[in-house]
Structure 1
Amino acid sequence: MLQRHCLNQKELARRWGISHRTLERWRYNGQGPAFLKLGGRVLYRLADIEAFEQSQLQRALKISEAVARVGHTPRRLTADPARDTGHGATHQRTARLC
């Protein structure tokens, strides 16, 4: 059986449940996994896909470890009661993240 070592952008988009346009934007902005461009065809090697997935996992783990070191959980976005002037719907509430 022939083993596939590469995915095209639509296959990778399907794997991750994202739009293939997102992958195009990532390539344009220099983000996302490494890719090959052969002629007009874009391919992603499985090894590069898995390395990118692992790097994203590691980033998430590092963030949660840093939060644990600080000793608190981040607050949710909430309306700032100090800014609420009681003018009802005409006043635009602002949100803050602590």
Structure 2
Amino acid sequence: MTEEAIGSPEGLLDDWMPRRELAGIIGVSSDTLKRWETRRIGPPCIRIGRKVLYRRGAVKDWLLEQESRKTGARRVAR
């Protein structure tokens, strides 16, 4: 396949961020994200070799899911 057929490699990972960047954005440590990944309770991620990447859209969806779970739990408790 030619580069034209698959698109330019520039910008390929624009929608993805490394673990350290996400940790800084949401205010948790990289180790916390690593534990969440192991327990399958954190935002979805992919691994490319040793690199762990998070898609921005998937992180936003995960945050909304956390919000709705908490809101739903409050409604049930009342």
Q: TM-score, normalised by structure 2?
A: 0.77
Larger Rg: 1
Aligned residues: 67
Q: Deviations over 1:25-56 (max 9, x none)?
A: 11112221110111211000011101110110
For 1:50, the equivalent position in structure 2 comes to 60
Question: Identity, % of aligned pairs?
Answer: 27
Structure 1 gap segments, 5+ residues each: 69-98
Q: Which amino acid aligns with 1:4?
A: D
Q: Calculate the TM-score normalised by the size of structure 1.
A: 0.62
SS at 2:44's partner residue? coil
Does 1 or 2 have the higher relative contact order (CA < 8 Å, sep 6+)?
A: 2
More helix as a share of residues: 2
The structure 2 residue matched to 1:15, chosen from 21, 25, 28, is 25
Question: What secondary structure does 1:31 align onto?
Answer: coil
